[in-house]
Amino acid sequence: MIRFFALFLLLSSAAFAQKKPDVLFIAVDDLNDWTTYLGGHPQTKTPNIDRLVARGMAFTNAHCAAPACNPSRAALMSGLRPWQTGVYTNNDPAQDVLKDVVTINRHFLANGYNTLGGGKIYHGYGSEGRTDSWTKWEGLFPTINDHDANKNGLDRGHFDWGAVTAKTEEMGDYKSTNWAIDQLKNAPADKPLFLALGYIKPHLPWYVPQEYYDRFPLADIKLPVTKELDLDDIPKMGVKMAGPEGDHAAVVKADQWKKAVQAYLATISFLDDQVGRLLDGLDQSPRKDKTIIVWWTDHGWNLGEKEHWRKFALWEETTRTSMAIIAPGVTKAGSTCAAPVDYMNMYPTVCELTGLPVPEHVKGASLMPLLKDPAAKWDGVAVCTHGKGNHAVRDANWRYIRYADGSEELYDHSKDPYEWTNLAGAVGMSDTKARLAAALPKEEVKATNAGKKKGEGKGKKKKAE
């Protein structure tokens, strides 16, 4: 009887493993729309990212829930928006508020998955390495440690770029790719696999080997498309977020703009090579035919548009992301979807794709209808939050921004893709603004860092992003 019961458990486990698909969950830090398939910059070279998204459904109007690493990742992984958790910025600690929340990785772990994580999934790198969160948390892979090298001469912390002498295989993302490939090939077959890999690049500093810089000769570099005096019709709070007197002024004064663009393109190219290695590893593994791939970048990035650098703003370049889902038997290769989606849609979607129940606290809409038919009816909009009271709403054609002081921006993307003309005060725009504003919260919790002494909970400067 005991032997029969043991055999029954073994067969049941094997059957469970066969029924449940594996999930390769890829997070990327600080990558905006500078991929070939999104067309964010004419000189970018991302053949491997392009072939990844071409395997299934690429969402071309996808946006983060917050334009900063910490709140974006906390929102996606928990299914809760910043105004529900108080995690609005990088300075708002997420660990305590999420300690009892059933996050994506905890949910898969509780439902029988072998959950393995490495690189950067949550902000803070190793902060989610607890035994209740993963089967095993690998953490951050060691890379070159020269964040304060000041290669570009700006002396602005890790807002830095330049070629390094390290070999490609010595870079952390190269090592994390090796680790992920090994898991795909050798993880036990008796359990379905949820493998989360968080790439660090193209996060600052843009330090990669010289070979990647050589792919983008400095003399040929094209700057982003910008408009002089673009901030003239922006409210004071928007101008404050742009901070033109900070990074942008320093870059222009030091004649570093083209060098910065070259560095970002080079770092993206390094990332793309690792993505290619990862895809080849998946294809050479026994899991290649039953693995769902979830690809997402945590937010966008500005390189001088609106005299702004980095993320930390509510315009298109800072909120738009690269996002795709490849689901065998559901998505068709080469599909694209232009519906406005955001990262609150991710949690319920991966649950539905894998047959797991959706936790009660997760209220976002599943993307399953769009995965099956990109032209399916979709009433959702994308909402992005940066600090309490500051929100952007994006639908198929419009971006509406409302700041905590009530000031507004409105852009018609059908005529103004670069968001150069703020129509918030124009005649006839009231109905459009009201329709989009309906997606904004009626109530917002205070920030988790609210009430703390200045500087408390902010961490070291080099990890502020």
Ordered by where they begin, the domains of the chain are 20-463 (3.40.720.10)
Q: Has 69 been annotated as catalytic?
A: yes
Pairwise CA distance, residues 193 & 179, whole Å: 14
Residue 6 pLDDT: 44
Instruction: List, in order, residues 6 or more apart from 222 with CB less than 8 Å away.
Output: 41, 42, 43, 261
The structure tokens 């990109």 sit at 374
Q: According to the model, what pLDDT value does residue 18 have?
A: 56
Per-residue pLDDT of the chain (465 residues; tens, 9 = 90+): 445 444 444 444 444 445 899 999 999 999 999 999 999 999 999 999 999 999 999 999 999 999 999 999 999 999 999 999 999 999 999 988 999 999 999 999 999 999 999 999 999 745 566 677 999 999 889 876 655 678 999 999 899 999 999 999 999 999 999 999 999 999 999 999 999 999 999 999 999 999 999 999 999 999 999 999 999 999 999 999 999 999 999 999 999 999 999 999 999 999 999 999 999 999 999 999 999 999 999 999 999 999 999 999 999 999 999 999 999 999 999 999 999 999 999 999 999 999 999 999 999 999 999 999 999 999 999 999 999 999 999 999 999 999 999 999 999 999 999 999 999 999 999 999 999 999 999 999 999 988 665 444 443 333 446
Residues 6+ apart with CB under 8 A from 425: 408
Signed CA dihedral, 66, 69, 73, 75: sign only: negative
CA separation, residue 424 to residues 238, 319, 350, 433 (Å): 13, 19, 37, 8
For 100, residues 6+ apart whose C-beta sits below 8 A from its C-beta are none
Residue 231 CA to residue 313 CA, distance in Å, equals 13
- In 1-157, the DSSP E strands lie at 22-28, 57-59, 62-63, 114-119, 136-139
CB burial of residue 118 (10 Å; 0-12, 13-18, 19+): buried
Backbone angles phi, psi at 27, to 5 degrees: -110, 140
Angle at 158 between CA 208 and CA 61, to 5 degrees: 75
Q: Which of 2, 34, 48 is nearest to 293 (CA)?
A: 48
Q: Where are the alpha helices (DSSP H) in 142-256?
A: 172-186, 210-214, 236-242, 249-253
Residue 128's closest CA among 64, 23, 66, 198? 198
- Look at residue 338 in the predicted model and tell me its pLDDT: 98
- Cα–chain-centroid distance for residue 9? 39
Which helix (H) or strand (E) segment is 348 a member of?
helix 346-354
Task: Report the distance separating Cα 320 and Cα 322, nearest Å.
Answer: 7
* pLDDT at site 145: 60
Under 8 Å between Cβ of 358 and 348: yes
Per-residue tokens: 121? 């999934």
Where are the alpha helices (H) located in 191-288, listed in sequence order? Answer: 210-214, 236-242, 249-253, 257-283
Query: Residue 63 and residue 191: Cα distance in Å, rounded?
Result: 33
Taking the C-alpha atoms of residue 458 and residue 116, their distance in angstroms, rounded to an integer, is 28
pTM, whole model, 2 decimals?
Answer: 0.94
In 29-92, beta strands by DSSP E: 57-59, 62-63
**Catalytic: which of 63, 123, 248, 308?**
123
Alpha carbons 56 and 59: distance in angstroms, whole number: 10
Active-site annotation holds for 391? no
- Report yes or no: 304 and 32 within 8 Å, Cβ to Cβ: no
Q: What is the CA radius of gyration of the chain?
A: 22
How far is the CA of 120 from the CAs of 29, 73, 201, 283, 407, in angstroms? 8, 10, 10, 24, 35
Residues 150, 160: Cα–Cα separation, whole Å = 6
* DSSP, res 421: S
Q: How far apart are CA 393 and CA 409, in angstroms?
A: 10
d(CA 383, CA 394): 6
Q: Which of 41, 63, 64, 69 is catalytic?
A: 69
Q: 3-state class of 13 per DSSP?
A: helix
Q: What are the structure tokens assigned to 400, written together? A: 């509406």
Give the tokens for residue 453: 């002494």
Tell the residue number behind the tokens 């992003």, with chain if given.
Answer: 465
